[in-house]
Amino acid sequence: MTPDGPAPDPGALDRLTVVLSEPRDLVNVALVIRAMKNMGTSRLRLVRPVEFDAWRILGIAHDTEDVVDTVEVHDELAPALADASYVLGATARRRSTRQDWWTPEQAARELLARGEPVALLLGREDRGLSNDELDLCHGLVHIPANPEHRSLNLAHAALVVLYEWRKAWLALEEAEPPDLAHKRHKRAPPATHAELEEFFGIWEQAMDEVGFFRHIDPLPKMRSFRALFQRADLDRRELGLMRAAAYEILHHAVRATKRARERAKAEIDGDP
């Protein structure tokens, strides 16, 4: 119960999944689980952990069986993010790409209100998330710590973000419902991380086929495309439209290349 009435829908907290990429210390994993239990979240996924021992974790984080029993362990990061509509990466590093850049309070207030599945991605204790992992994120959360000592313990960082998430969840009970009187149409379900990754693969092929990456490294350009489409917050209908457009670009580019090769061959062979 909240001080003024019944607690908000607990299902809102279930839409947040915590994902730890290659955690190195079992104690830190246990303390993240303790933080999750404290703040009312229960969905945890581990990607290539150095160690996972449920019995030892329960010895460190008491009374967390419900969380530990549902922990998922993955060999790759993509499946751990696949069902999320928004991936929020925790980092202290500012990037040149124009991704959303949130404080924990801003991220919790905005993303929880959307009502979409969110994955909170945290990296290794010693070096955080890699650039490739940050590329998979729609936005980044930054804890404004002392600039002379930015590095936080993995569990401490998780607790700060999860605390703000719980605050935002409790605040939803008092928020006024949005005015939907002039809403023109019901928005389609949000695109998932897996669907976006499929689209990015097709888009990169299409751009490569039309020569957009000629004589340049495609990675920086693709990072800009990723940031652009992630900021657009595409739903499944909109993403389907963009995927169809990418396929058309790819199809016509392949046909044009084929015709050019046929003309070149005909000239070499002396055909009119």
CA distance 44 to 67: 7
Segment 22-37 mean pLDDT: 96
User: How many distinct structural domains can be found in the chain?
Assistant: 2
Segment 11-25 mean pLDDT: 92
Mark whether 124 and 244 lie in a shared domain.
Answer: no
Q: Answer with the one of 174, 207, 223 that is the final residue of a domain.
A: 174
Mark whether 124 and 55 lie in a shared domain.
Answer: yes
pLDDT of residue 9: 60
CA distance 71 to 59: 16
Average pLDDT, the chain: 85
pLDDT of residue 229: 86
Segment 154-180 mean pLDDT: 81
CA distance 66 to 155: 19
pLDDT tens digits, one per residue of 213-250? 888 898 988 888 888 888 888 888 888 888 888 888 88
Does residue 272 surpass a pLDDT of 60?
no
Does residue 7 surpass a pLDDT of 80?
no
Of 91, 169, 73, nearest in space to 128 by CA: 91
CA distance 208 to 222: 11
pLDDT of residue 228: 86
With bands split at pLDDT 50, 70 and 90, how would you rate the model's confidence at 1? very low
Does residue 143 surpass a pLDDT of 80?
yes
Angle between helices 104-114 and 154-171 (to 10 degrees): 50
| CB atoms near residue 92 (< 10 Å) | 15
- Quick check: 133 and 141 in contact, CB under 8 A? no
pLDDT tens digits, one per residue of 55-68? 999 999 999 999 99
Mark whether 32 and 158 lie in a shared domain.
Answer: yes
Q: Output phi, psi for 31, to 5 deg.
A: -75, -30
Residue-range definition of the domain harbouring residue 215: 193-269
pTM here is 0.73
User: What's the CATH code of the domain at 103?
Assistant: 3.40.1280.10
pLDDT of residue 249: 86
Find the range with the poorest average confidence among 22-26, 46-50, 179-183, 220-224. Answer: 179-183
User: What's the CATH code of the domain at 217?
Assistant: 1.10.8
Q: Answer with the one of 146, 174, 202 that is the final residue of a domain.
A: 174
Share of the chain above pLDDT 90, in %: 47
**183, part of any domain:** no
CA distance 108 to 160: 11
Mark whether 96 and 198 lie in a shared domain.
Answer: no
